[in-house]
Amino acid sequence: MPANLTQQYKKAEERYKAAGTDDEKLLALEEMLREIPKHKGTEHMQADLKKRISKLKAAMEGGGKKGGAKQVDVFHVPKGGAGQIALVGMPNSGKSTILATLTKAHVNVADYPFATDKPVPGMAAYEDVKIQLVDAPPITAEFAPAGLVNTYRGADMLAIVIDLAGEVLKQMDVCIGYLDSHRLILDESLDSEDELGNRLARKTFVIATKADIAPAGTLETLKELTERPFEYIEISSETGDGTETLMQRIFEMLDVVRVYAKKPHQPADMTDPFTLKRGGTVHDLAVLVHRELAEKLKSARAWNSPNIHDGQNIPREHILSDKEVIELHFS
């Protein structure tokens, strides 16, 4: 019996063959399995796809052969803080200086290219919220490290760093070209959840830096000639201008709320909030505070909440808002 494969299946298969990372391979295989016509003639192929999916998953989780040394991917940056923002840019655009200015990370700031050869994370702050920034090796029209795509896929958002005192259009071209070739820029007009490209893509904005030495009007020209609806944030790492706005906008774009957890009969810890995706509930907070105890959450009370009296009882479905103080009672 002929398999009668659909166009969608063939496209997914092409994506599988072109995949550069395990993540991409897995998504493509899963799509092939979804798209394959389900009849007797394809039973063999279906079984084969399932086998390949579980093998790949095992390899991704186990890090390869049993007993063998686990491979460390230097391009994978473990997440910390309320969100992770990875910087994208050409050599000398000012990426490392952003980390040096806003975090305590030890980065190599240098006026020669390729001073950074692997991603370096650092913790920046917006008010009392910690936000992770990741300095990254530069990209050029000719070259980007092969593993770098893993850094960007792992991040929550991407920031294209443009040196306003340099060739801005060329920099933008190279950055967009690189990100597009890996389908990393989120196309918010496509809202279908399982559209492959969108699932792998990340929200992207622009940090226009070196404003202190930029010729007047450069940013306006760049905005006008870039046919993407990016948000632009202008800063100078030299003078500090714009860096507060940068952190505020990053916090807002991450779309998280911060919540102060309080133990009964004790004051709340107002220095180190938990952060949750907007829409998160008291139950989600309980999981963050104590995963094992979360199911034993008996009751909760709230302070500093809109529309709720201080100290009032709230249900576990209560949706948290920014700066609420929540007292959790576990049984």
Ligand X SMILES: Nc1nc2c(ncn2[C@@H]2O[C@H](COP(=O)(O)OP(=O)(O)O)[C@@H](O)[C@H]2O)c(=O)[nH]1
* Residues within the interface to ligand X (CB under 6 A): 89, 91-97, 109-111, 115-116, 138, 209-210, 212-213, 236-238
Q: How far is the CB of 212 from ligand X (least distance, A)?
A: 5
DSSP-derived 3-state class of residue 225: helix
Q: How far is the CB of 94 from Mg ion (least distance, A)?
A: 8
For residues 150-182, one letter each, b for 16 or more C-beta atoms within 10 angstroms of the residue's C-beta and e for the rest, the string is bbbbbbbbbbbbbbbbbebeebbebbbebbeeb
What residue 169 binds from Mg ion, ligand X, none (CB within 5 to 8 A, per partner kind)? none
What residue 84 binds from ligand X, Mg ion, none (CB within 5 to 8 A, per partner kind)? none
Q: How far is the CB of 161 from Mg ion (least distance, A)?
A: 10
Q: How far is the CB of 211 from ligand X (least distance, A)?
A: 7
Is the dihedral angle over the CA atoms 303, 305, 308, 314 positive or is it negative? Answer: negative
Binding region for Mg ion (CB under 5 A) out of 13-21, 109-117, 171-179, 270-278: 109-117
- Residue 94 CA to residue 243 CA, distance in Å, equals 13
Please check whether residue 234 is in contact with residue 219, taking contact to mean a CB–CB distance below 8 angstroms.
Answer: yes
Q: How far is the CB of 209 from Mg ion (least distance, A)?
A: 12
Of the candidates 23, 14, 11, 75, which has an alpha carbon nearest to the alpha carbon of residue 199? Answer: 23
Toward ligand X, which CB reaches closer, 6 or 114?
Answer: 114
Toward Mg ion, which CB reaches closer, 28 or 139?
Answer: 139
- Residue 124 CA to residue 246 CA, distance in Å, equals 11
When binding is defined by CB under 5 A, the residue of 84, 93, 101, 116 that contacts Mg ion is 116
Q: How far is the CB of 47 from Mg ion (least distance, A)?
A: 49
What residue 305 binds from ligand X, Mg ion, none (CB within 5 to 8 A, per partner kind)? none
Please check whether residue 65 is in contact with residue 55, taking contact to mean a CB–CB distance below 8 angstroms.
Answer: no
Binding region for Mg ion (CB under 5 A) out of 37-45, 115-123, 217-225, 240-248: 115-123
Q: What are the DSSP E strand ranges found in 189-290?
A: 203-209, 232-234, 256-262, 274-277
Toward ligand X, which CB reaches closer, 51 or 114?
Answer: 114
- Residue 10 CA to residue 263 CA, distance in Å, equals 56
One-letter amino acid at 66 equals K
The values of phi and psi at residue 104, to 5°, are -95, 10
Of the candidates 231, 174, 241, which has an alpha carbon nearest to the alpha carbon of residue 210? Answer: 241
- Residue 328 CA to residue 266 CA, distance in Å, equals 11
Per-residue binding string, Mg ion, 77-106, x by CB under 5 A, is -------------------x----------
Binding region for Mg ion (CB under 5 A) out of 107-115, 144-152, 206-214, 244-252: 107-115
Q: How far is the CB of 298 from ligand X (least distance, A)?
A: 51
What residue 210 binds from ligand X, Mg ion, none (CB within 5 to 8 A, per partner kind)? ligand X
Of the candidates 260, 287, 279, which has an alpha carbon nearest to the alpha carbon of residue 320? Answer: 279
Toward ligand X, which CB reaches closer, 149 or 162?
Answer: 162
What residue 237 binds from Mg ion, ligand X, none (CB within 5 to 8 A, per partner kind)? ligand X
Contacting residues toward Mg ion, per CB under 5 A = 96, 115-116
